[in-house]
Structure 1
Amino acid sequence: MRKTNRNADADEAEIDLTPMLDVVFIMLIFFIVVASFLREIGVDINRPDTNIDPPESDATSIVVTIRGNDQIWMDDRIVDIKAVRSSVAQRLASDPEQGFSIITEAGASSKTLISVADGAREAGVKQVNWPAESTQ
């Protein structure tokens, strides 16, 4: 039987990893540079100035107030989120050109605000206004 030297075979089969590491570093630099040019897509919200008076004095306007604990108030009563559409539709039946405003207090969630605005639009409101946060 012939005896082979395994250490000699292992030395001859060695692979040089330096070119592969160079390629990996070049790819890393490429992705870092490309990622710096990407922009995040988001929703731009333009809130009005804080010196706008709430339109509560206008008798023909529909005013919905969202409290800090996400309670929805309309005509001095609490309204369920599911009943906003029907309540607004009832008010619009008498005058379809009424204004519609949402007043939010600090702590009110954006989910509630969007749900109320969607319900109003489904009821037929042409424009939804939301002044700055109430100071009540």
Structure 2
Amino acid sequence: MKKKHNRETEDANIDMTPMLDIVFIMLIFFIVTTSFVKEKGLIVNRPDDAQKSNKPSKNVSIKIDANGFVYMNGRQIDIERVEANIQSFLAENITENAVIQADKETKHGVVVRVLDQAARAGLPRLSVMVDKE
């Protein structure tokens, strides 16, 4: 007896292996041929979170008039006590900056003494302003 094949009893199967092989080969091809280019741009140095504080930062403001009198944050101080006054200011405020405003008639020796004392007090950034008149 001859067996008759019926279409309903046969299941149509498609072999997926060759298609998966091609997909993986294409994936490997694209990964290997992709060039990774480092984008050029500006490098930004951001401060660490440990340096942040709740207190706002203030600058130390030192003014020297034509007669050599020194004023720190609006009050007159002795030229020999600049370092001590800056240290007491730094105990209460967080800053690295000092702005020294000298009159154009001020002697350079006085300005240099104030700069030296500010540097010894622990201020790494010092700026000197002079009127151009």
Letter of the 1:88 counterpart? I
User: Which whole-Å deviations, capped at 9, do the CAs of 1:4-59 have from their partners, x for residues lacking one?
Assistant: xxxxxxxxxxxxxxxxxxxxxxxxxxxxxxxxxxxxxxxxxxxxxxxxxxxxxx97
Q: Percent identity?
A: 19
Aligned partner of 1:109 among 82, 107, 112:
107
Aligned partner of 2:68 among 47, 70, 83:
70
* Cα drift, residue 109 of structure 1: 0.6
Distance 1:67 1:134 in 2: 15
What is aligned with 2:87? 89
Alpha carbons of 1:124 and 1:133: their partners in 2 closer, same or farther (altered >3 Å)? same
Aligned length: 78
User: Which whole-Å deviations, capped at 9, do the CAs of 1:101-128 have from their partners, x for residues lacking one?
Assistant: 1001121010110000000011000111
Aligned-CA RMSD value: 2.1
Secondary structure at the counterpart of residue 63 of structure 2: strand
* Cα drift, residue 65 of structure 1: 0.3
Secondary structure at the counterpart of residue 128 of structure 2: coil
Question: Which structure has the highest helix share of the two?
Answer: 1
Give the TM-score, by structure 1 length.
0.52
- Map 1:10-89 onto structure 2 (within 5 A): 60-89=58-87
Does the aligned pair in 2 maintain the 1:88–1:123 contact within 8 Å? yes
* Cα drift, residue 71 of structure 1: 0.6
Does the aligned pair in 2 maintain the 1:104–1:132 contact within 8 Å? yes
Distance 2:114 2:73 in 1: 15
Does the aligned pair in 2 maintain the 1:105–1:134 contact within 8 Å? no
**Structure 2, gaps ≥5 residues long:** 1-55
Does the aligned pair in 1 maintain the 2:68–2:106 contact within 8 Å? yes
